[in-house]
Structure 1
Amino acid sequence: MSDWKLPWTGACLCGQVKVRVTEAPVVAAACHCRACQKLTGGAYSLSLMLPASGLSVEGETEIGGLHNPVPEHHFCPSCKNWLFTRGIAGGAFVNVRPSLLDDGGWVVPYADTWTAQSLPGVQSGARVHYPEFPPVEDYAGLMEGYARDGVRPG
C-alpha cells in the first residue's frame, strides 16, 4: 500500500529509544480499559497494530505495566514512556503508541475497545465500538474496514 508513505520514525520523550515503522498498520484502536487508563494517565490508550516485522527498535527497553510475559509492555528505561506492546496474536503483531512517531498527528482510531470501562463523556472518533475486546471472528472485518476506510498520513 503506497498510500501509507512509509517508513515512519519516532522516539520516546528523552530520545534514548528510537523506533522505525516499515509496514503499514492493520488497524488503529483506542483501548478504554482501566489498565490502559492507568498506564497512559489518560482516557484511553491509542495504538497502531502492525505486523511485528514492521517495527525496529534502537535502544534498550524494559518491561513494565502489568509485567506479563504476554503481552509485553515495553517502556523506555530512562523517561518511562510506554512505547509498544509485543505478543499480540501469538507475536504476529505489535501495538505501537502513535505519540512516539515524529508525525503521528494524523492517527484516528478505527475501533474503540473496552468501552464498558470508558470514562464518562470520552469519545475517540472511532467508527466501531466494542464493550470489551473484539471477538476473534471480527478481526478480519476490522482489518478490511481499516484498509478501506482508515485515516492515512497526509
Structure 2
Amino acid sequence: MPLPTPEAPLTGACRCGALTMQITAPPFMTAACHCQGCQRMASSAFSLTMMVSADTFRVTGGTPVPAGAGSADLTHYACPACHSWVYTQVTGVDFVNLRSALFDDPAWTQPFIETQRAEALPWVPSLAPHGFERFPEMERFPELIAAFAAERLGAQG
C-alpha cells in the first residue's frame, strides 16, 4: 500500500545541497524508467521520477546546468557543483520530471508506472502497478493520471 503524498510545498536538494528546489502542488504521476539512458544517468538499474506541472516547480537555490546526453526533445539539468541529475524538461509539454529521491522525504514516491520494461535488467522485479514495455501511448496518460490521483492523492482525504 503506497503512502499518501505529503502536503505541498515539498522541498529537495541535490547531493551536496548547492541546488535546492520546491514544488507547490503534489505530482500528478510517479514513475520508474528502465531505459539504458536512465540507467546510465542514474548509475542504477532505473531512475525514479515524479511528474509535476511546470508552474508548480521552482529552483530555490543555485543555478542548474544542462547535463547528460539530451536531445532536441529533452534537456536534463544537474547541479554544477556535485553533478547530481536533478530534473528533465521535455520540449512541448507543460511538466517537469524531477528525480523524486532528491526530495527531503522520498518514502512516498513509490512508482505508479514503469516505462521501458523492455530494457530492464533481468533481475529487477516489477516496481509499479502499471508497467509498459516502452512508453505509454499519450492517449493513456489521462486515464493513468486519474488512476494515480484516485489511489495516491485520494488516500489523503
Count of matched residue positions in the alignment of Structure 1 and Structure 2: 150
> What corresponds to 2:71 in structure 1?
68
Displacement of 1:123: 2.3
1:144 maps to which of 135, 143, 146: 146
Contact 1:74 1:82 survives alignment (8 Å): yes
2:50 alignment partner, SS class? strand
| 1:27 to 1:95, Cα distance in 2 relative to 1, 3 A | same
Q: Give the RMSD, CA atoms, in angstroms.
A: 1.7
Could you tell me which runs of 5 or more consecutive residues in structure 1 were left unpaired when the two chains were aligned. none
Distance 2:119 2:152 in 1: 24
TM-score, length of structure 2 as denominator length: 0.89
Displacement of 1:124: 4.8
> What corresponds to 2:110 in structure 1?
108
1:78 maps to which of 71, 78, 81: 81
Displacement of 1:60: 0.8
Could you tell me which runs of 5 or more consecutive residues in structure 2 were left unpaired when the two chains were aligned. none
> What corresponds to 1:19 in structure 2?
21
| 1:125 to 1:67, Cα distance in 2 relative to 1, 3 A | closer
Displacement of 1:80: 0.6
1:30 alignment partner, SS class? strand
